[in-house]
Structure 1
């Protein structure tokens, strides 16, 4: 029996209308659909495709053993996630070796800071794997601001809010345009870094880009409230133009 194919399908930033034609086709035809989620949650990827899958679909929710409960620098963090990805791989490998195709739902683009990459590296040398690229969340975020993010020779830097504050500030100061992802509990640190880099007043906060509850505002007007995980900060470049 020939092996089935693993499809890493990018869903885009959250609006189903922004999915590619190929992603839509693979999803609607899939008998086996896997997706990541936090324990006790439905999962953002699963919410995006609600009502789009066939009636007899077999779902495989992959629940993270840890998310923000311990810091990423804790050795237990990597150990727990490594075991988790290995367990998921074994389950998927069993389906694939049995000749079944599997679609793995990926928020945004599968190869852009996504969990799918950890499955990909474990399976790509053993079974056929196809990856469907997609619109990233940051693209939807800067589009929501109504302004181009880069002009001419602008340098765009994408940063994670989980980075140390001094590194954030240094990279921000060196760049013309900036995107900051994974903000959440790091909100105050990111704001402090933007002020240190002289970019705070030009920053925008976008929450739930392209989703029904999308929110767009200048960061300086956002106050001190806690931002959700699906938040992105954008600083637009102002470079060369005719």
Structure 2
């Protein structure tokens, strides 16, 4: 009996070690591909939220990293800087909505130096398909409501969903997700309004060389 138990234990232990090793190998093999896909998506989104006519620099290579609760949590977020003829023209802020229905919602917000919103996009989320996923541009145009709106830190009442007295639509049967996104965008814009000059003058924390052709294609 003891020999049988020992044998079974050894077999289970061996299986666990082999399985763990295979998972680790798969992770390390796919990690570069995942990072390349994320970089490719970021490059595309940067150009979506800041039109080409507003910048002549490579935004992916000009950013600063900041830690602020206004951007959603205490982890570093990047703020990309757009310039035109050497003058500041716009910022793209990474932000996290920590109070989505199913967890964090990762966003980028483009805003010009006059605090007009140029665009907002969702980078990553785990919201419910068919309900909360309407924050994705590929699913609905809800996220385009932000484009063109001017931000005034002294007039924050409109920066809520309509159910709370603001200007932004909520989803039928799903208010938590749009409420979280609107709040995160508002807080990020407050941060931009308060720190704009510092953000443009901060040291560069981004790449100084172009991404690989696979990433930028």
The two structures share one fold, judged by TM-score above 0.5: no
Q: Which has the higher helix share?
A: 2
TM-score range for the pair, normalised by the shorter chain length = under 0.3
Q: Which has the higher contact order (CA 8 A, sep 6+)?
A: 1
TM-score normalised by structure 2 residue count: 0.27
Superposition TM-score, scaled by structure 1 size: 0.25
